[in-house]
Amino acid sequence: MKYKRLTREQLEELHPEFINFLATQSITAEEWDTLKKEKPEVAEEEIDVFSDLIWEGVLNKVEYLENVSEKHMHLFHLTDKEMKLLSVKILNPEIDLRTEVGFGWFKRNYQSDFVEYLSASKAYGGDKNMDKFEIIKQGAVITKGELYQWFDQIMEH
């Protein structure tokens, strides 16, 4: 398995896609039920293959990732050629970016001495989607990139 098995909830959500996937493998509903009972390891392998296919499709489309912790924001723009990072560090010990109050403070004080910025770019390694997946494994979530774009505009001025 290349990525990570989808959760039960994700598999349930993708039930129609999973049925289509089984159909492409020429596995009927009855055969699937038999497989689960008689050869559970084969059924598990099919779920792993399906999970990888779904992850591959999602990762191909991902353009922005965000990882926000108490004192840091790591905003990624994943272009065709490289990963761009905008990193924010909050030096005010009373602020937690994960709260509405903390994020509000940041929006009002983003130019203060209590906020440090870093931007960087990095070429992908041998597997672009695996690079993206590693960022997700570290806690990043897929976004539409509004926060990254807002920062990008601020940093240009």
Residue 25: band (very low, low, confident or very high) from pLDDT cuts 50, 70, 90: confident
> 92 and 55 in one domain?
no
Spatial distance between the Cα atoms of 24 and 32, rounded to a whole number of angstroms: 13
Q: Report the domain count for the chain.
A: 2
Does any domain span residue 3? no
> Which pLDDT band, with edges at 50, 70 and 90, does 82 fall under?
very high
18 and 52: one domain?
A: yes
Cα Rg, the chain, nearest whole Å:
21
pLDDT tens figures, 96-110 = 999 999 999 998 998
Mean pLDDT calculated for residue range 9-37 = 92
Q: 84: which strand partners?
A: 77, 121
Tell whether 75 is covered by a domain.
Answer: yes
Whole-number pLDDT of residue 154: 76
Same domain, yes or no, for 47 and 106? no
Distant-in-sequence contacts of 64-67, Cβ < 8 A, 24+ apart:
64/142, 64/143, 64/144, 64/145, 64/148, 65/132, 65/135, 65/136, 65/140, 65/141, 65/142, 65/143, 66/140, 66/141, 66/143, 66/147, 66/148, 67/135, 67/138, 67/139, 67/140, 67/141
Tokens of 65: 């990732």
Q: Same domain, yes or no, for 33 and 93? A: no
**144 and 115 share one domain:** yes
pLDDT band at 152 (very low <50, low <70, confident <90, very high): confident
Q: What is the residue range of 75's domain?
A: 64-156
Query: Position 134: which residue type?
Result: E
Q: What is the pLDDT of residue 70?
A: 94
Residue 109 and residue 115 in contact, taking contact as beta carbons nearer than 8 Å? yes
Kind plus residue range of the DSSP H or E element containing 29: helix 29-38
pTM: 0.85
Residue 46 shares a structural domain with residue 107: no
Residues 57 and 68 occupy one common structural domain: no
The DSSP code for 6 is P
Same domain, 44 and 117: no
Residues 84 and 137 in one domain: yes
Classify residue 1: in a domain, yes or no. no
- pLDDT for residue 16: 93
Q: Note whether 38 and 98 are same-domain residues.
A: no
Mean pLDDT of 89-93: 93
> Sorting pLDDT into bands at 50, 70 and 90, what band is 78?
very high
Query: How much is the pLDDT for 65?
Result: 97
Q: For tokens 């602020």, what's the residue?
A: 95
Phi, psi of 87, deg, nearest 5: -115, 135
pLDDT confidence band for 157 (50 / 70 / 90): low
Q: Are residues 79 and 113 in the same domain?
A: yes
> Tens digit of pLDDT for each residue in 121-148?
999 998 999 999 999 999 999 999 999 9
